[in-house]
Amino acid sequence: MTDVDNSRQSVKSLFKMLDVLEAFSSSDPELSVVEIARRTGLPRTTVHRIVDSLRSVGFLEQDASRDRYRLGLKLFELGGTALTNLPLYREAPPFVDTLAKLSGEDVHLCIFDGAQMVFVSRRSQIAARPHNTVITMEASPCHSTSVGKAALAFQSEVVIDRVIRAGLPRFTPQTIVEPNELRSELAAIRTRGYSIDDCEHEGELRCVGAPIRNSAGRVFAAISASGPARRVTMQRVPELARMVMTHAELLSIRLGYQPGQDDNSNSERGPRGRSGPPARAGSGAGLTQAR
């Protein structure tokens, strides 16, 4: 076998390891070899070998009593290192804190990883909430959350199609599960500049989100304010939307974004909605519209 062949084989092995790691999720934190093989399409013998290798370096941990595996702490250590080195993570705290204080609601900051949203930061209010809490670096779906829809709306059609093909699971009676309905919702978000999670991910929890752009004008993250639907009423959505959009734009500018700057990657979208920056926070454009 030549050096080139060895290199190709190493790359293939690396991709197989990544497939195994990506088989785990927030909803399925522990998997057996059989389940991993089913999800990845890899032979069980191959999965056994990969799992043993990943366990030996701390990327996987084994529950000996049930012969099941979970992601190891080593991955969280690496993820934490990557997170703290992100410009967004370093620059966001003042904006997240201020939005939480002004809105009086929980604030979430997430990055779009190409398929779902990964939590970077959260600020919670002191009062108890009737919904589940989240931890840093936990993943969240795009179609049912305000941060997810705010980020997904400004991606290319290729990315939107990929997310839809991966499935639109229902979390509450309000969840959007029809592709055409989701596309219409994303078009509305592009027009008004903000998104609404109308109790679509968790019952009785309403959220308002807005996209965050990098120095190239590309939407890569989103920020949201959320609270119990009895307090975050639809009548209050316009007020929250102005706050969220303002802080999203200010944080984007802090990251190097110039208002009015076009993102060429979104030009693939075609006639559905605009591909430019979100409506200016102070304009109030579309603030009376809700899904």
Indicate the angle between helix axes 3-22 and 44-56, nearest 10 degrees: 90
What confidence score (pLDDT) does residue 262 get?
A: 61
Confidence of residue 224 (pLDDT cuts 50, 70, 90): very high
Distances in whole angstroms, Cα of residue 106 to Cα of each of 83, 112, 134, 231: 21, 19, 11, 12
Torsion of CA 54, 58, 60, 65, to 10 degrees: 120
The CATH class of the 3-72 domain is mainly alpha
- Percent of the chain at pLDDT > 70 equals 81
pLDDT tens, position by position, 29-47? 899 999 999 999 999 999 9
Residue ranges matching CATH 3.30.450.40 in the chain = 86-269
Residue ranges matching CATH 1.10.10.10 in the chain = 3-72
Q: Measured at the alpha carbon of residue 119, what is the angle toward residues 13 and 226, in degrees to the nearest 5?
A: 150
Asked if pLDDT for residue 250 goes beyond 90, the answer is yes
pLDDT tens, position by position, 56-94? 999 999 987 778 999 988 887 787 777 667 889 889 999
What's the per-residue H, E or C state across the chain? CCHHHHHHHHHHHHHHHHHHHHCCCCCCCEECHHHHHHHHCCCHHHHHHHHHHHHHCCCEEEECCCCEEEECHHHHHHHHHHHHCCHHHHHCHHHHHHHHHHHCCEEEEEEECCCCEEEEEEECCCCCCCCCCCCCCCEECCCCCHHHHHHHCCCCHHHHHHHHHCCCCCCCCCCCCCHHHHHHHHHHHHHHCCEEEECCCCCCEEEEEEEEECCCCCEEEEEEEEEECCCCCCCCHHHHHHHHHHHHHHHHHHCCCCCCCCCHHHHHHCCCCCCCCCCCCCCCCCCCCCC
Fold (CATH) for 86-269: Beta-Lactamase (3.30.450)
Asked if pLDDT for residue 273 goes beyond 50, the answer is no
Confidence of residue 194 (pLDDT cuts 50, 70, 90): very high
Q: Are 167 and 122 in contact (CB under 8 A)?
A: no
- Percent of the chain at pLDDT > 90 equals 63
Q: pTM for the full model?
A: 0.71
What confidence score (pLDDT) does residue 169 get?
A: 94
The C-alpha atoms of residue 24 and residue 19 are separated, in whole angstroms, by 9
What confidence score (pLDDT) does residue 134 get?
A: 40
What confidence score (pLDDT) does residue 206 get?
A: 98
What confidence score (pLDDT) does residue 11 get?
A: 82
